[in-house]
Structure 1
Amino acid sequence: MKNLSRALLFSIVAIIGLSAAGFAQTSPSKQFGDIKVGISNFGKMDDHFYRGGRPGGKDFATLKQLGINTIIDLTDNSSGEQAQAEAAGLKYVNIAIPDKSYPTDDMVAQFIKTVNDPATGVFYVHCAGGRHRTGDMAAVYRFAQGWDYDKVYQEMLNYDFYTSNGHQKALDFVQDYSKKIVAQRAAAAATTTAAVSGNK
């Protein structure tokens, strides 16, 4: 089923206690201070979350230099990445989401659990190109910060998101997730209003 469970919906608001305030839409960048990054579609969403395409070679040392602690790999076809990451002193987590697929509740829950874990620290999320699977999980993160759909989608476009070549399911996921978050927020607001009225 595509529908997120009620427990999962309520769990997203806990994502590392972040608020929507002060966070602007981000775009890819190759330069961070004195550090030049060679990874495609690379960007920094906030002080906790970096994103982009699949790293390789010297990229792992660069990620470490940026202060990243954990790599969250969203691909289902990694070969040797864990060894390369760990050799550079990085933790490695694989949430295997097949390309051009609709992320399952379990995948979303694993992502939320990982970014909520204090041991994860600063993390780098990637798929192959940093557009679709990464865009979906970045959207989950942004909705937890209180962003609305339009703002989330614009940030996805900033990172070269598109729906052609079989990638429509990535957008379907974000649209469905957004609707459920809106419904969850409305239900929570109604519950709060009822509780306040009952205490008068």
Structure 2
Amino acid sequence: MWIMLGKVVDHVEKMNAQTSAQTSAQKYRVHGAARFLRVAAALLALTAFSSSVPAMRAQQPPTQSEPPKQAPPQQAPSQQAPPPSTPMPPAPPPQTAPTPKPIPAGPAARGETPDADMPPLTSHTVPGINNFGQVTPRLYRGAQPSNKGYDLLQKMGVDIVVNFRNENDQVAEERRAVETRNMKYFSIPWSATDNPSSLQVREFFEILRANPDKRVFVHCQKGADRTGTMMAIYRIATEKWQVTDAVKEMHDYHYHAFWFPHLARFVQGFPQQLQLDPTLVGAVPAPAKPPTP
């Protein structure tokens, strides 16, 4: 557009030069037309310039404002402050498990009132005898006594000592220790690796049956396995205990179930053996009599 306006103005100037010989009236018309064209060209130029300003502004790079704030450099994991921890709720107070009630054995398990003279059925140690316990008012059990233990049995008024150990040297030595203290001695030797035979069971029962008014102490080496088995079948045969109660008492006196599991099975099968084994007919001792005041 600028080029076209320039050409128009040049054309007018040429016309103006050519009219130098013309009349004044003609010059006036030519000069007026030239001025008009110059004004029009100026207006057009101004209009074109004003319309080009927004485009020029759009092409200019934006004015740089305040530089954006940079995020602070992150600290290394070891330098970072730990995140605020959420407070944990207070732990509930520890609950104390209720103490289980002991399982009653023997008469208590059957809802009967036990003998008032019966001591607690617990294993304990007395001078010279480990794993000691009182079975009935006249029947005691324990481990191998020492000389101090024999002295204690004599002071307690024990009349008979029954030994289930099977070592010959020990049997002879103990016989002397017992008899020198004016107590009777019986040896029924058998090994805990086997069940007691029917004859051994009958022999033990007959000792008790023949001495209902005597105090009897029975033992083996530990007072746990052989002694525990004989006491369990006595409980079943004479005191009519349930098998579970008799086996539980074996454990109360430190029965070695891992090494001798067959002994518990023997006790569990004893009620049937008692009915079917002719060797045991008539051998069951009567309940122990209370001591004479």
- TM normalised by structure 2 equals 0.50
- Alpha-carbon distance between aligned partners in 1 of 2:213 and 2:186, rounded to the nearest angstrom: 9
**Pair 183,104 (structure 1): closer, same or farther in 2 beyond 3 Å:** closer
Q: CA deviation at 1:141?
A: 1.2
Q: Which of residues 248, 258, 263 is equivalent to 1:164?
A: 258
Could you say if the C-alpha distance between residues 74 and 120 of structure 1 is closer, same or farther in structure 2, counting changes exceeding 3 Å?
farther
Report Cα offsets for 1:37-68 as digits up to 9, x if no partner: 33110111111110010112221111111121
Name the CA distance, whole Å, in 2 between partners of 1:28 and 1:38.
Answer: 14
* Distance of 2:266 and 2:244 partners within structure 1: 14
| One of 14, 29, 37 as aligned partner of 2:124 | 29
**Structure 2 segments unaligned to the other structure (5+ residues):** 1-111, 278-293
Q: Does 1:52 align with 2:52?
A: no
Separation of aligned partners in 2, 1:109 and 1:21: 29
Q: Which amino acid aligns with 2:137?
A: D
Map of 1:64 onto structure 2: 154
User: Any idea what the Cα deviations from partners look like across 1:168-200, whole Å, max 9, x if unmatched?
Assistant: 22112111103445889xxxxxxxxxxxxxxxx
Q: Secondary structure at the match of 2:131?
A: coil
Q: What is the aligned length?
A: 159
Write the distance in 1 (CA, Å) between the matches of 2:255 and 2:135: 15
> Superposed, which structure 2 residues align to 1:59-98 within 5 Å?
59-77=149-167, 78-79=170-171, 80-98=173-191
**Residues 165 and 189 in structure 2, CA contact (< 8 A), matched pair in contact too:** yes
Residue in 1 aligned with 2:247? 153
Query: 5+ residue gaps in structure 1?
Result: 1-19, 31-35, 185-200
**Counterpart-to-counterpart distance in 2, 1:154 and 1:119:** 26
Tell me the distance in 2 between the aligned counterparts of 1:136 and 1:99.
9
Alpha-carbon RMSD across the aligned residues, in angstroms, is 2.3
The structure 1 segments of at least 4 consecutive aligned residues displaced by more than 3 Å after TM superposition are: 178-184
Q: Which entry has the higher C-alpha Rg, 1 or 2?
A: 2
Using the size of structure 1 for normalisation, the TM-score is 0.72
The whole-number CA distance in structure 1 between the counterparts of 2:212 and 2:123 is: 26
C-alpha contact 2:154 2:181 (8 A) present in aligned 1: yes
